[in-house]
Amino acid sequence: MQTHEIRKRFLDHFIAAGHTEVPSASLILDDPNLLFVNAGMVPFKPYFLGEQTPPFSRATSVQKCVRTLDIEEVGITTRHNTFFQMAGNFSFGDYFKREAIHFAWDLLTKSVDDGGYGIDPQKLWPTVYLDDDEAFGIWRDEIGVPAERIQRRGMKDNYWSMGVPGPCGPCSEIFYDRGPDYGREGGPEADEDRYIEIWNLVFMQNQRGEGGAKEDYEILGPLPKKNIDTGMGIERVACLLQNVDNVYETDLLKPVIDTAERLTGKTYGAPNSADDDVRFRVIADHARTAVMLIADGVLPSNDGRGYVLRRLLRRIVRSARLLGATGPTMAAFVDKVIETMSPSYPYLAEQADEIRAVAVGEEDAFLKTLSAGSKLFDDAAEATKSRGSSQITGSDAFTLHDTYGFPIDLTLEMAAEAGLSVDQAGFTELMAEQRSRAKADATARKHGHADMSVYRDFLDRGPTEFTGYTELASEAKVLGLVSAGERIQVAHPGDEIEVILDRTPLYAESGGQIADRGVITSADGVKLTVTDVQKVGKSVWRHRVRVDAGEVSEGADVLAQVDQSWRHGATQGHSGTHMVHAALREVLGPGATQAGSLNRPGYLRFDFHSQGPVTDSQRAQIEQIANSAVETNYPVHTFETGLDEAKAMGALALFGENYGDVVRVVEIGGPFSMELCGGTHVGSSAQIGPITILGESSVGSGVRRVEAYVGMDSFTYLSRERALLAGLASSLKVPSEQVPDRVENLVTRLRDAEKQLEKLKAEQARASASGLLDSAVRAGDIRVIGGRVADGLDGGELRSLATDLRARAGADPAVVALFSQTGEKLPFVVATNEAAREKGVRAGDLVKEVAPLVGGRGGGKPDLAQGSGVDAAGVDTALARIVTLAGE
């Protein structure tokens, strides 16, 4: 049975049992505890925590999940995956243990012809919590499982909580016996490799207190309503129904491994190929996870979610290279994942170009990193040998891995080729410290769970009515006041609070458009200045305000007003963003899709997918097309329709965004620009005013950014530029149109003069240094050539001079030490020739020894090292010390 069929049968089973199907939430939720959604119940947490009232009493879903705490362990075993699908059924104060157990058993054991999975009941072993006699009795007396196949287990295994104070309860897990080939008899208590868990039924009936995540916490008492939360692992069931050993051999991941075999020439599962098999599994697992993350809007970066994605993509690249791939592989892996996963997630096929562009862009960047890492490795290897050691330090290996992204397994391989080993114990210790810090951070985040229950009453009332599309002032009623997370009845002048209204014209920040500014007033003298507007649960507007006058209380009648000037500038910025997006796609092609945006009055910032920079001519063309659309004065139409209908019309959706069934379409100029957008816009394109693109830059792998002014801000910017040009023309005494040529001529002349000056400076330095050869001193049989040279030389010039003197010193052992006064700084360079190094004299050691004598520091390689100090009076002492050290 294919995985997509397993998924469909689960949903069909529970829909037939009266459950509402809830589509999978995005892998990214607004939850301070979570980097990614990591369990099927996460989207339902507000209901279980009592923060919101669920709109249904029964629900079912197949939730996308990602767990990345132990990325380095992926592939080493066949049980660990970063991405998985968790099927679940949920009851909110409706049914409880009996129904949950029967629902699960029926689906697992019902025949395939009848819509079930057709699993042999004799293969299934339930477990229950130690004292849960009720669940034990249901399994034994109603389901008919023999008592010897029902095992009681302790809190660690069969008692569930979210790891923080809140709902908890016993659980009953269902295990499948894979047979004696996989381990010893005795049920899950004896061997969880043979008996694998496929379903967990959580009976959420109690409230827990503070304490450890697993066992060390107090049960405070029963919940007001009992709930059910279950989770069935789709991938694990697929292993059983497809009769394969592990998830990597199922229909979703094996095709990716097949692709890797084709690209690398290696074979998965070949004799004596354990290391290669790990790499195949890493590719298959990480490719699927990366595709799902990118599709939900995650982009590679150096922190947070983006860093996790970057690590996954880089592990794919390095695994492919270690398997023997010599060229790019990412596009093939991404395409195969999309092919296998899109039957369950059709949007992957729709976003294929964007997903591929992000992943391939990161591959290209990392291949360059690998090249740079090889140079860094060479430096570490040389330093190791110069110390007389044969082992690269754990610190060097960790720095290569953590700071430069250079994989440890490549470090090990290259070290072996260089006749060196790596202090793996030291590396592992540093990695463990890093993981420990990460886990501590994760634990700390759990205590940062924002208490959103204060907004529950407002969420239960239904959404705030947003009137801002058609009016800038609306009469409203104060539904509630919130201060420091608590409901209050009244606020006084000087207070900064949140105000919840039943209706409002003030736009809440979303879709790249920042919140409106405005005021809330009342007939009895209340004046509240609105500083920000945010959404709660995507439906309730909370106005952050400062009480300037009067006392505002819950239930008051008020007038909410938008700052008209602010709104005018905001609509110009947002509509201008649509113009720039359309122009970008016209010039760069349909692949230049949106990757993020920010617009505020008079300004817009637009991020888009692109594998290379925008040329000057392309930038000019984009600006011209956008302004031509403004001048044409296209009408702006907005309307609501179904998501599928909007896409059929050609409306563009924001990459990674989750939309509802009904969407708002903003159409400017018919086919010129049509996007799904909830923002506020001008009435016609001419109201945007001029658009001036300020610049274009890179903001990440495969993502570029343009910034622009619109309206009066654009006019003001152009006026400043015109005044600047006029001033230059006046100073140069040429017409404005000749300024660029005249400036270019001046720059060329200046560069020529600088080159001539540098040449004279170098000749002067060589002349002053020539005398140093004649005045060299002997330290045993080593010749020391040193002293102060011409002032004003920087480190680079000193290096060039030192290497020249070293070459002129001949084959005899020689050390060159040069100092130069440059303002308040004293740069210095030490160089040694091969004969001196053979006698144990190393430039790096000498620099570290003498740098303090001139009030500085430095370091470098055995052949060439440099530093910088501030005390020129110490030069003679430093030179004497070098002579002493060279002669030892």
Dist CA 873 CA 854 (whole Å):
7
The CA distance from 653 to 386, in Å, is 58
DSSP state, 622? H
Please return the burial class of 534, using the count of CB atoms within 10 Å of its CB with bins 0-12, 13-18 and 19+. middle
Contacts of 645 (CB under 8 A, 6+ apart): none
Identify the burial level of 742 via C-beta atoms within 10 angstroms of its C-beta, where 0-12 means exposed, 13-18 middle and 19 or more buried: middle
Is the torsion defined by CA of 342, 344, 345, 346 positive or negative? positive
449 is an annotated ligand-binding site residue: no
Show contacts of 349-352: CB within 8 Å, 24+ apart.
Answer: 350/647, 351/295, 351/655
What gap in Å lies between CA 37 and CA 535, rounded to an integer? 21
Q: How far apart are CA 833 and CA 837, in angstroms?
A: 6
Is residue 581 part of an annotated ligand binding site? no
Q: Is 637 annotated as a binding residue?
A: no
Backbone angles phi, psi at 255, to 5 degrees: -60, -30
Check if the beta carbon of residue 317 is closer than 8 Å to that of residue 366.
yes
Type of residue numbered 697:
S
Q: Which amino acid is at 410?
A: L
Report how far apart, in Å, the C-alpha atoms of 190 and of each of 126, 193, 194, 199 are.
14, 9, 9, 18
Sign of the dihedral defined by the CA atoms of residues 669, 674, 504, 550, in that order: negative
Amino acid residing at 542? R
Distance CA 490, CA 590 (A): 53
Phi, psi of 550 (to 5 degrees): 75, 180
CA dist., res. 669 & res. 586, Å (int): 14
Judge whether 340 and 100 are in contact, CB under 8 Å.
no
**Residue 244: other Cβ atoms inside 10 A:** 14
- DSSP-assigned letter for residue 302: S
Q: Could you tell me which of 420, 262, 348, 325 has the C-alpha nearest to residue 83?
A: 348
Residue 568 marked in a binding site: no
Pairing of strands 124-129, 151-153: parallel
| DSSP for 631-698, written as a single string | HHT-BEEEEEEEHHHHHHTT-B--TT----SEEEEEEETGGGEEEE--S---SBGGGG--EEEEEEEE
Query: How many whole angstroms separate alpha carbon 203 and alpha carbon 193?
Result: 25
Tell me the C-alpha distance between 515 and 513, whole Å.
7
Give the integer Cα–Cα distance in Å for 380 and 679. 54
Question: In the block, which residue shows the tokens 């016993």?
Answer: 170
Q: Using CB atoms within 10 Å of the CB of residue 817, give its burial: 0 to 12 exposed, 13 to 18 middle, 19+ buried.
A: buried
- Answer for the pair 210, 54: CB distance below 8 angstroms, yes or no: no
Q: How far apart are CA 730 and CA 736, in angstroms?
A: 8
Binding residues: 574, 578, 677, 681
**Which residues line the annotated binding site for Zn(2+)?**
574, 578, 677, 681
